[in-house]
Amino acid sequence: MTGAGSGIGAACAERLTADGATVVTLDIAGSVDHLIDVRDEPAVEAAFSTVVDQHGHLDVVVNAAGVAGGGPVHLLDAGEWDRVVDVNLKGTFIVDKYSALHMLAQGRGSIINIASIEGLEGTEGGSAYNASKAGVVMLTKSMAIDYGRKGIRVNCICPGGIETPMLLDLIDADGMELYRAALLDEHLLGRFGRPSEIAAAAAFLASEDASFITGHSLVVDGGFTAGMRVGILDQLGM
């Protein structure tokens, strides 16, 4: 479980533990079992080897490490682009690589990558973040093709706005009131999601109930990507 120090990763770790799984947590900071940066391939390799040595197998990996960042490309520093893409996409690749290696040896497994609705459609100023999460969606599909016949399922979850430190630090900042209201309005259920709701989706994809699902991008977004409202129903008092 990467990115398990806070937010969605922490919620997934809590849910899977409650469901009876033995969960090993990784993050760059926080109260976790392994303090590692997912961009550090030797560290990831060593952590996964330790997990398998200690527990004998690796059934499920939830890849939740990620960072925010972006902006219009003509204003975006190349170093910032590299930071976002390296964590969100390269880090996912590295974790998936060692997940697949161990799962191939045992002939089964489930990999769940955390992407975003911003990997499915563009957003204003998204650039690096959108590109990185779109890459996660395509990586997921490619891996599902490569490893399906080997007993390994690979799926991703595309959350909408979820009340995590990453989102709240952005929308609660000074001067962001209009953005917060506009973003909230795009969620048809009238609220942002809870990390536990993404964890519930991850628990489903990890379970035998999802045994015939692979290569899928599960959207959990409160209706964000369903389409737009233009006010017609306001005239009907709805």
State the Cα–Cα distance between residues 100 and 63, nearest whole angstrom: 13
Maximal CA-CA distance, the chain: 64
147 is catalytic: no
What is the strand order of the sheet 217-220 is part of?
Answer: 60-63, 109-114, 152-159, 217-220
98, 129, 147, 179: which one is catalytic?
129
CA 45 from centroid of its chain's CA atoms? 20
State the Cα–Cα distance between residues 184 and 171, nearest whole angstrom: 10
Cα-trace Rg, the chain:
18
Residues in Cβ contact with 224 at an 8 Å cutoff, skipping those fewer than 6 apart:
117, 160, 161, 186, 187, 188
Phi, psi of 60 (to 5 degrees): -140, 140
Task: Kindly tell me the sign of the dihedral angle through the C-alpha atoms of 203, 19, 88, 105.
Answer: negative
Active-site positions read 129
